[in-house]
């Protein structure tokens, strides 16, 4: 119908099926004149039976740079960059905040966690994902401070050991980088 804006596929078998839960979807529209207009193909992975996938947006994101250790680089979180210290310009880190996961039901366990971000499609070296051990204010965070007047214990952010590295980019969109954050 011309008025439908969503679709729930109740016929696709779960990941135990012959496609292991991997499917490609495409939306196509047939005009009144009979012309068929096809949309982009999207890769979809269905969760295993008994599991649910929950997509959470970041509550805060910004970039911090050792080259400008006391400057809030991108409080909007829209133009983040990650790079090692190249030619003395300073290292850059993107930091994200996901406030307590209230969307998870009590007793739920997390089987897999991934961080998906738009990227330029080229990851020159593996990028590690670290869990921050301190909250930050995205509008105020710098290389030296989590917020105004609140220094990181260690410049560059307070974080635990790496929780994951870049996953192979086999998404339908080459501009999406996905990281294992389990």
> Distance between the two ends of the chain, CA-based, in angstroms?
40
Q: What is the mean pLDDT of the chain?
A: 80
Interatomic CA distance for residues 90 and 85, integer angstroms: 4
Task: Check pLDDT > 80 for residue 35.
Answer: yes
**What would the DSSP string read from start to end of 58-69?**
-SEEEEEETTST
pTM metric for this prediction: 0.68
Angle at 5 between CA 104 and CA 43, to 5 degrees: 65
**Which stretch, 2-6, 78-82, 147-151, 163-167, has highest mean pLDDT?**
147-151
Bridge partner list, 45: 22
Fill in the DSSP letter of residue 53: -
**pLDDT, tens only, 100-142:** 667 777 888 887 788 887 776 555 566 778 889 999 999 999 9
Interatomic CA distance for residues 138 and 157, integer angstroms: 13
8 A C-beta contact, residue 51 and residue 111: yes
């Amino acid at each position: 119908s011309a008025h439908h804006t969503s679709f729930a596929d109740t016929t696709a078998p779960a990941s135990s099926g012959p496609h292991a839960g991997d499917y490609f979807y495409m939306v196509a529209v047939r005009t009144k004149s009979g012309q068929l207009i096809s949309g982009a193909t999207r890769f979809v992975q269905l969760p295993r039976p008994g599991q649910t996938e929950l997509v959470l947006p970041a509550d805060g994101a910004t970039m911090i740079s050792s080259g400008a250790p006391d400057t809030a680089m991108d409080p909007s979180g829209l133009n983040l960059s990650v790079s090692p210290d190249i030619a003395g310009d300073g290292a850059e880190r993107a930091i994200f905040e996901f406030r307590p996961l209230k969307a998870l039901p009590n007793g739920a366990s997390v089987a897999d966690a991934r961080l998906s971000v738009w990227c330029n499609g080229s990851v020159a070296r593996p990028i590690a994902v670290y869990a921050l051990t301190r909250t930050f204010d995205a509008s105020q965070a710098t290389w030296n401070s989590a917020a105004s007047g609140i220094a990181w214990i260690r410049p560059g952010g307070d974080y635990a050991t790496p929780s994951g590295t870049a996953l192979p980019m086999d998404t339908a969109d080459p501009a999406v980088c996905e990281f294992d954050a389990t």
